Amino acid sequence: MKVNTYLNFHGNCEEAMSFYEQHLGAKVIAKSRFADMSSTGDPQNLPPGLNRDGIMHARFTLGDTVVMASDGPKAEPMRSAYLTLSVDSNEEAERIYKALTAGGEVFMPMGETFFAHRFGQLRDKFGINWMVIHEKPMGPR
């Protein structure tokens, strides 16, 4: 079994993927638009609020993880799930946190904790929740 993350955006999936490419090193490996599908290419067949040029389905890599995404109807962000980026330095944690918080909402400012050199929680400007962590070595319990 394999678990994948599927992100839903409200008309800005392509913008989000470009942002993640620029700031997180994501790589888009596939994307299709609603207009590409014969059954949904007609704007009359799209759900309200969706654009025929919107992303129907995309796949991108983030580190060694495949993430799937699409545009969809507006929905409330889920506060109980986060994408967690584990990095190898304080500088990388700070850089990523700064990029992701621009235009977003901070839940926990970046700082040191008992379990991490740097740790912070946020929702980015696209409505996606993130944790950024540079972990401290943890011994056996």
- The predicted structure's pLDDT at residue 44: 64
The answer to whether the beta carbons of residues 107 and 100 sit under 8 Å apart is no
Comma-separated ranges of CATH 3.30.720.110 domains in the chain = 83-135
Query: What is the three-state SS of 82-119?
Result: CEEEECCCHHHHHHHHHHHHCCCEEEEEEECCCCEEEE
**d(C-alpha 109, C-alpha 39), whole Å:** 46
Which residues of the chain does CATH 3.30.720.100 include?
Answer: 5-71
Where on the phi/psi map is residue 25: left (φ > 0), alpha (ψ -120 to 50), or beta?
left
User: Which tens digits make up the pLDDT trace of 35-57?
Assistant: 887 665 565 667 677 788 899 99
Spatial distance between the Cα atoms of 140 and 12, rounded to a whole number of angstroms: 43
Summarised one tens digit per residue, pLDDT across range 77-124 is: 777 899 999 999 999 999 999 999 999 999 999 999 999 999 999 999
- What CATH code would you report for 5-71? 3.30.720.100
Class of domain 83-135: alpha beta
